[in-house]
Amino acid sequence: MKPVTLLTGFLLPALLISCSDAPIEPLKTSDLAVDIVITAQQVFSGDGSASKAVDIAICGEIICAISPKGLVIYDAKKVINADGLVVSPGFIDPHTHSLAELTESKTASNINYLTQGVTTVINGNDGAGIVDVGTLKRQLSQQGIGTNTALLVGHGSIRERVMGRSERHANAYELSQMIALTEQAMKDGAIGLSTGLYYVPGSYASTDEVIALAKVAAKYHGIYDTHLRDESTFNIGFTNAVDEAINIAKSADIHLHLAHIKALGVDVWGQSEAVINKVNKAIAAGVSISADQYPWQASGTHLHSAVVPKWLMADSVDKFHQRLNNPTLKLKIDKEISENIRRRGGADALLFTVADDQSLVGKTLAQVAKTRAISIVNLVRQLVQQTPIRVASFNMSSDDINRFMVQPWVVTSSDGTNGHPRKYASFPKKYRQYVKDDGLLSLSQFIKQSSYATAKALKLPKRGLLKVGNFADIIAFNADKLKDNANFSNWNVLSTGIETVIVNGVVTIEHGKYNKALAGKVISNTNPH
Ligand SMILES: [Zn+2]
């Protein structure tokens, strides 16, 4: 009999840790006020190690004991028998756009994430994070939310507040205002700064501007999360954009998180190798880097963000439309729009997913242009002047996806947006396709990439790992039945197979059913100030 190690902190009688062939007697404990015990054969802690048969005791919102299965009898108010299920930390999604749901009481449960096993979502990515983090935090805490969330403050939002959508670099006064706004957001608990250097208005910023703001985030233990300036050949090129991000991280001495890493479009297919080499080299040189990835070949964005040149969208919507309809600019604009469509794989590779005009939804740009007997560029010109339309852009190669997925610094995300099934099905899809079907990842690796590795990268304290003292965010799922049910025809169908979800010690899904609990919290940075 091997010595028994308990993580509970209480002492075992000598007879239990001595070598003996005698069966171990269960040890009744009375010193812990246990609310819930989960007992299971297959428990993954989240750190990438193999599963163990353990009992997890929860006191209030905290994991208060973990012991070998059956060894300790807990006096618990509730026992969850999860034998036959996989138990793991609740998943953490580092890139979502779920504030619209979380801030609305009808949808605050974040049910489409809970049913993926996600107990924590990050918001504020792509440079679009709300500037007034303090106000938002209070609103969410008072109203109640189904999952935890942590907030990034957005560089694009800060820039827009200070200088609108001006297509120029910031002057010293404007920069000082942006620094002050970043500082306030970090003091209010933002976990870092996000940029969307591909999008307007982030695209108009210099590298130095971003470094100045990233330094402020670093001061408060924050991270730098970036949607790269270029994931393709739109402006500086994919590999140069990665260099820029690494340079920002080095200069600001901050953790770099590359959002939804991908090689977008045929021009850069295969460049995953060069990018992986760059990241590994930088990590070896002491730069702290992580990335997330959603397991789909299509990205999703607004039509105008996908194909309209950024200079055209400067200043305001009115100015955008004026330039678009200026006959002297017509040739130049048409050429650039056509080129952007080509980069994304052509008009057949752009699928309309959300639009007021329902006749568009489910059809490709090429199909609609043909039906309406109009040129592709002219159709784009018409559509981008209407209410925003979303597209799925089929632009990635499976080789690049697979290559990125197995890197130890890559974690799971959804980047969930309306119209794209990734909002409902990313974690179950990754499990089904890449663990079960392809065997690219082990179950333990997948869980680590979806929990502890993410918590570590984002510096979320006491999350993502089943460990005594950590918050009790725990899920149990049926490995045979965990299933992604959403697809591009039906993008908003809930995933199934998650049997139990516990958020901060509160059971919110039991036997696969949501019980209306709103147990999430707003997670703040580990601000030393
Ligand atoms: Zn993005």
**pLDDT tens-place values along the chain, 529 residues long:** 333 334 443 434 333 344 444 555 666 665 788 999 999 999 999 999 999 999 999 999 999 999 999 999 999 999 999 999 999 999 999 999 999 999 999 999 999 999 999 999 999 999 999 999 999 999 999 999 999 999 999 999 999 999 999 999 999 999 999 999 999 999 999 999 999 999 999 999 999 999 999 999 999 999 999 999 999 999 999 999 999 999 999 999 999 999 999 999 999 999 999 999 999 999 999 999 999 999 999 999 999 999 999 999 999 999 999 999 999 999 999 999 999 999 999 999 999 999 999 999 999 999 999 999 999 999 999 999 998 999 999 999 999 999 999 999 999 999 999 999 999 999 999 999 999 999 999 999 999 999 999 999 999 999 999 999 999 999 999 999 999 999 999 999 999 999 999 999 999 999 999 999 999 999 998 765 5
CB atoms within 10 A of CB 239: 16
CA–CA separation, 262 and 400 (whole Å):
7
Quote the strand ranges of 60-110, DSSP E.
Answer: 62-68, 72-73, 78-81, 86-89, 91-93
258 Cα to the center of ligand 1, angstroms: 10
Amino acid at 395: N
The DSSP string of 251-289 is HHT-EEEETT----SGGGTTTHHHHHHHHHHHHHTT--E
Closest by CA position to 509, among listed 464, 470, 475: 475
- Name, in order, each residue with C-beta under 8 angstroms of 113's C-beta and a sequence gap of 6 or more: 93, 96, 98, 121, 146, 147, 414, 416
518, two tokens: 């709103």
DSSP letter at 496 equals B
CA–CA separation, 259 and 427 (whole Å):
16
pLDDT of residue 101: 98
382 Cα to the center of ligand 1, angstroms: 25
66 Cα to the center of ligand 1, angstroms: 38
Alpha-helical segments (H) within 29-81? none
95, two tokens: 């890139």
Phi then psi for residue 133, to 5 deg, are -60, -40
Find out whether 80 and 420 touch, Cβ atoms under 8 Å. Answer: no
Please, is 23 exposed, middle or buried when counting C-beta atoms within 10 Å of its C-beta (0-12, 13-18, 19+)?
Answer: exposed
Count Cβ neighbours within 10 Å for each residue of 297-335 and write b for 16 or more, e otherwise: ebbbbbbbbbbbbbebbbeeeeebeebbeeeeeeeebbe
235 Cα to the center of ligand 1, angstroms: 16
- Length of the chain, in residues: 529
Contacts 24+ apart (CB under 8 A), 167-175: 167/201, 167/204, 167/310, 167/311, 167/314, 167/315, 168/204, 169/204, 169/205, 169/206, 169/209, 170/205, 170/206, 170/209, 175/209, 175/212
152 Cα to the center of ligand 1, angstroms: 13
CA–CA separation, 174 and 197 (whole Å):
18
86 Cα to the center of ligand 1, angstroms: 31
Task: Give me the half-sphere count of Cα atoms (radius 13 Å) on the Cβ side of residue 46.
Answer: 26
196 Cα to the center of ligand 1, angstroms: 7
223 Cα to the center of ligand 1, angstroms: 16
CA–CA separation, 392 and 363 (whole Å):
10
Q: What distance lies between CA 511 and its chain's CA centroid? A: 26
Phi then psi for residue 165, to 5 deg, are -105, 35
263 Cα to the center of ligand 1, angstroms: 13
159 Cα to the center of ligand 1, angstroms: 17
438 Cα to the center of ligand 1, angstroms: 27
pLDDT of residue 30: 55
Find out whether 344 and 305 touch, Cβ atoms under 8 Å. Answer: no
At residue 364, the 3 state secondary structure works out as strand
279 Cα to the center of ligand 1, angstroms: 19
78, two tokens: 């509730």
Helix axis angle, 272-284 to 398-405, nearest 10° = 20
pLDDT of residue 22: 52
Amino acid at 210: V
83 Cα to the center of ligand 1, angstroms: 39
318 Cα to the center of ligand 1, angstroms: 25
* pTM to 2 decimal places: 0.93
Task: Give me the half-sphere count of Cα atoms (radius 13 Å) on the Cβ side of residue 290.
Answer: 24
272 Cα to the center of ligand 1, angstroms: 17
CA–CA separation, 440 and 237 (whole Å):
29
CA–CA separation, 292 and 24 (whole Å):
44
225, two tokens: 């999360």
Find out whether 130 and 103 touch, Cβ atoms under 8 Å. Answer: no
The CA–CA distances, whole Å, from 394 to 299, 300, 355, 391, 459 equal: 6, 9, 18, 9, 32
Amino acid at 215: K
Closest by CA position to 417, among listed 265, 227, 242: 227
Sign for the pseudo-dihedral over CA of 422, 427, 428, 433: positive
CA–CA separation, 85 and 428 (whole Å):
15
211, two tokens: 């470094």
Find out whether 89 and 465 touch, Cβ atoms under 8 Å. Answer: yes
Partnered with residue 149 across adjacent β-strands are 121, 522
Helix axis angle, 376-383 to 330-343, nearest 10° = 100
297 Cα to the center of ligand 1, angstroms: 15
Q: How far does the chain reach from its first CA to its final CA, in angstroms?
A: 49
Q: How would you classify the pairing of strands 498-503 and 506-510?
A: antiparallel
CB atoms within 10 A of CB 59: 17
197 Cα to the center of ligand 1, angstroms: 9
